[in-house]
Structure 1
Amino acid sequence: MKNIYSCVCLLLLFSCSKLENYNGVVSTDKSKPGIVTDIKVINFNGGAYITYSLPSSANILYVLADYKVNGTLSRQTKSSYYSDTIVVNGFADSKEYEVTLHVVSRANVMSDAVVAKVYPDTPVYKMIFPTVNVTPDFGGVNIKALNKFKQPVGIILVETDPVTNRYEIRDQYYTKSDTINYSVRGMDTLPKNFGIYIQDQWGNISDTLKQTLSPIFETQLDKNKFFVDKLATDAKIGYGWELPYMWDGNTDGSSTGWHTLPGSTFPITATFGLGVSAKLSRFALWQRTGQYTYSHGNPRDFTIWGSEKDNPADVQLPVTSAQGDMAGDWINMGNYHYPDPPSGARPGAVTDEDIAFAEAGVNFNIPLANPRVKFIRFAVADTWSGGDFAHVIEITFWGNPY
């Protein structure tokens, strides 16, 4: 379980900030500095704040804390002489630990040791573990968990190797999100022995949740069977960017896609048939890129509506609704927000990183609770420019059409 590769990846992704450079000017004063006094401790999840009073000396450089976080692994933390607080973190359990404090002079002379006792609250990785839920999903498994403190953690999925009969890492997912919900796909439908554990940024590892699950069958829907089913409330199309370009297989962000005329009423809607009755699992969306990335008519917020009727009737769809709501023959299969630019740049001032992200296409899950459907209405509630028109380069659906 304590896979070295996993630890290295986590530490690289969540590396601690560099300690301040305490070298300073070397002092010729070799006298031993005094000790810290008036020690107070404030515990938090997995760590503690230790406050103190410094000895009166102009030759102090920093305070050094030495402590063991899991019985064997030692850590050190430094705090500048400008501060009266040092933070100790990364403890594996909620129990008493000893922290040894030294005052260090500019001549690199240490004071006598002073021991502070801390009793961290339950570490975050241990708080997350009981919330982990793993269920079968289309082409794999879905993993949910809660990370209420929004701390960086790794969710490690392992699977029994059929040859060695030992757990091997299948997927590693790193996040600070408070609500963890993602799927690992690309699997067949045979039963598999899975394990999942949580790892924090200091390499602490939780227990392992073990389950035997069978992924649900999934395949990409055949776009050759898609067809236009224009309804009266659908947006008017312009510039020769007809609806079939939305599923022609061309994901180049500079190519032709679906494009409506300005003046459209929200939600800006397009309707098409799948050519089959399918239990949908997910879809991928490609936006118009280049100078239009995260701008112009690219969808920002949108809803996928579906119908299992043979000839679903037209209806003016609401701009806002909840997943599962009905509007005539149509059911809201999910409300979606296209992810914000990964770089954090504002829309309209995106980076090469943002463009590459958009060009790769973005995957969205469709909740399992939805029924099989034969028709789709793609309804745009807002665009990245806020304009009254919309465009999409390509959309691809996966699910079970059998």
Structure 2
Amino acid sequence: MKKLWLVIGVLLSVFFLGCSEIKDWSDPADNIPPGEITDIRVKNTNGGAVIHYRLPSDNDLLGAKAVFTFSENEEPMEVYASAFKDSIVLEGYANTEEHIVQLYAIDKSNNLSQPVSVTIQPLTPPISLIRQTLTAQETFSGVRAIWKNTLKKPIAVSLYTFDASGDKVLFERHYSSAENGGYTFRNFEAVEQPFYFELSDRWDHVAAPLDTVLTPLFETQIKGMEGTRYVWDLYDYDNSIYRGDPIQANAGSQSVYRGRVRNLFDGNTWDNSAYFYFRPPTMNQYVPGASSSAYPSPNYVTFDLGVPAKYSRFKYYTRGRTPVYSAWSWYEFEVWGTNNPKKPNEIGDGSQADNLKYWTSWPEAGGTDAWKEDWEKLADCEIKFPSGTPGNAPQVESAEDIAFVMDGFGFDIDPDKTGKAFRYIRFVLKKNNTDNVPYIQWSELQFWGSYE
């Protein structure tokens, strides 16, 4: 027992002795400035410069610091680079004049070296390059701005209108860093009116405005029903199996007329009972001898919208299910249009096998998607949540995401195709947010544009 207490006493002594001698591992501070930066070389860039240099050999060196202003009346700004780099990047200049930059070495005690004055002369600012490419044109219900941003710099495109007093009023601001930029500003009457566009960058530099007068094109909703007459339907429904489209045998437990196609245009955008519904067939229902457990991918669905129309944009609303966005939401798909879809007897020998080769890309059917040579692609679509939530999320929970889903997923038609009229629309459904049966469950489908 005495030996035990002796061991405990020794351990406690060591513990308290160790606690009283905590080592300070931080770097020792001093007031000795580092040596100067040398061997300076400047590469001027659009709206800035890259300054290359050689750092001093001080053991406690932290890196380099550049101090600069965009103009004489502005507060100085600072940019840092670590000791592991041999260059520092400056951005945000709005002109191509010469500017003086003070370059320092800095150590871990925050001591600064003597400054070295460096002269830079930025090339044409990115915002000015983008402005040179900015154009605006009338489109359905609004105007479309188009620009090139080869450097992919973040910008804001602002559209101003004018009130009754002639004062500018911000209508909408769009943010982008896309190389081939474009955005449509909508909800304008089809009358001649002035539009005032401004481009700005993240330093609040504003390029010369684009001041123009345009007449937006008339836009109306393309209706699925006129009075009591149904206009929209599934295309050539009796031959759906030839195209790889959904078939009636797979309307699921809701074995109703053509998958409730009429629910797509009943005006109810958030419905958990009366919605467009199909459970896609398994591959063997299309291709004899194929798997009875594998589902085709992609899925296809083709509509006859009754009359030719020019399309500007569309929305689809997913099934109004809780949790929100949990009803097999298709987040990546294509939209195609034509006025002359081929009949089964116009394809190969007219057999189901030859038709599936033409109408699908399914390997099991030897599919070639040759139909795309006879149709025109109207849109490549991918759902992108403003919050950053991925399109394949199994559900959404934030108020922002829920509002985004319930407002419908809106997409523009390719501007090169808005001047053409189409009667038949085909969806190529590529990815949805589940890993099981690829159901099609839509509350509503809406198109806008104009009739022929």
Fold agreement, TM-score > 0.5 = yes
Q: Is the 8 A contact 1:253 1:359 kept in 2?
A: no
Cα 1:82–1:280 shift into 2, 3 Å: closer
Cα 1:104–1:371 shift into 2, 3 Å: closer
Report the AA paired with residue 152 of structure 1.
P
Report the AA paired with residue 65 of structure 1.
A
Q: Is the 8 A contact 1:263 1:389 kept in 2?
A: no
Segments of 4+ in structure 1 off by > 6 A? 24-27
User: Offset at 1:259?
Assistant: 2.4
Match of 1:124 among 123, 126, 143: 126
Q: Is the 8 A contact 2:316 2:446 kept in 1?
A: yes
Question: 1:112 maps to which residue?
Answer: 114
User: Offset at 1:170?
Assistant: 1.8
Give the secondary structure class of the aligned counterpart of 1:233. Answer: helix
Give the secondary structure class of the aligned counterpart of 1:151. Answer: coil
Give the secondary structure class of the aligned counterpart of 2:262. Answer: helix
User: Offset at 1:131?
Assistant: 1.5
Give the secondary structure class of the aligned counterpart of 1:129. Answer: helix
Q: Distance in 1 between matches of 2:103 and 2:174?
A: 36
Q: Is the 8 A contact 2:44 2:122 kept in 1?
A: yes
User: Offset at 1:369?
Assistant: 4.3
Question: 2:311 maps to which residue?
Answer: 280
Q: Distance in 2 between matches of 1:246 and 1:346?
A: 22
Match of 1:377 among 406, 425, 439: 425
Tell which deviates more after alignment, 229-238 or 134-143.
229-238
Two-structure CA RMSD over aligned residues (Å): 3.5
Would you say 1:393 and 2:449 are equivalent positions? no
Question: 1:101 maps to which residue?
Answer: 103
Would you say 1:365 and 2:397 are equivalent positions? no
Give the secondary structure class of the aligned counterpart of 2:225. Answer: helix
Q: Distance in 1 between matches of 2:113 and 2:94?
A: 28
Question: 1:252 maps to which residue?
Answer: 270
Q: Is the 8 A contact 2:327 2:441 kept in 1?
A: no
Q: Distance in 1 between matches of 2:448 and 2:163?
A: 27
Q: Distance in 2 between matches of 1:119 and 1:297?
A: 52
Report the AA paired with residue 337 of structure 2.
W
User: Offset at 1:197?
Assistant: 2.5
Would you say 1:228 and 2:233 are equivalent positions? yes
Give the secondary structure class of the aligned counterpart of 2:103. Answer: strand
Q: Which of 1 and 2 has greater Rg?
A: 2
Report the AA paired with residue 168 of structure 1.
V
Match of 1:339 among 360, 383, 408: 383
- Post-superposition CA distance 1:30-81 (Å, at most 9, x none): 3443321111223332222223222333454443211122554442212334
Aligned pairs (5 A) from 1:180-195: 180-195=181-196
User: Offset at 1:287?
Assistant: 2.8
Q: Distance in 2 between matches of 1:151 and 1:284?
A: 30
Cα 1:364–1:102 shift into 2, 3 Å: same
Report the AA paired with residue 56 of structure 1.
S
Question: 1:13 maps to which residue?
Answer: none
Q: Is the 8 A contact 1:268 1:389 kept in 2?
A: no
Q: Distance in 2 between matches of 1:140 and 1:285?
A: 21
Question: 1:7 maps to which residue?
Answer: none
Q: Distance in 1 between matches of 2:114 and 2:132?
A: 43
Q: Distance in 2 between matches of 1:348 and 1:189?
A: 40
Return the structure number with greater helix share.
2
Report the AA paired with residue 404 of structure 2.
F
User: Offset at 1:85?
Assistant: 2.5
Q: Distance in 1 between matches of 2:71 and 2:220?
A: 46
User: Offset at 1:174?
Assistant: 0.4
Question: 1:301 maps to which residue?
Answer: 333
Question: 2:142 maps to which residue?
Answer: 140
- Post-superposition CA distance 1:273-299 (Å, at most 9, x none): 35x664332111123465684884736
Report the AA paired with residue 219 of structure 2.
E
Match of 2:156 among 154, 157, 170: 154
TM-score, normalised via structure 1 length? 0.78
Q: Distance in 2 between matches of 1:57 and 1:271?
A: 73
Q: Is the 8 A contact 1:243 1:270 kept in 2?
A: no
Q: Distance in 1 between matches of 2:419 and 2:55?
A: 63
Cα 1:123–1:255 shift into 2, 3 Å: farther
Give the secondary structure class of the aligned counterpart of 1:352. Answer: coil
Tell which deviates more after alignment, 263-272 or 124-133.
263-272
Q: Is the 8 A contact 1:59 1:106 kept in 2?
A: yes
Cα 1:202–1:318 shift into 2, 3 Å: farther
Cα 1:348–1:155 shift into 2, 3 Å: closer
TM-score, normalised via structure 2 length? 0.70
Give the secondary structure class of the aligned counterpart of 2:157. Answer: strand
- Post-superposition CA distance 1:225-249 (Å, at most 9, x none): 2342541333314033411111222
Q: Distance in 2 between matches of 1:319 and 1:154?
A: 41
Cα 1:259–1:302 shift into 2, 3 Å: farther
Aligned pairs (5 A) from 1:311-350: 314=343, 318-319=359-360, 327=374, 332=376, 334-340=378-384, 343=388, 345=390, 347-349=392-394
User: Offset at 1:147?
Assistant: 1.4
Aligned pairs (5 A) from 1:212-223: 212-223=213-224
Cα 1:84–1:254 shift into 2, 3 Å: farther
Aligned pairs (5 A) from 1:71-86: 72-73=73-74, 74-86=76-88
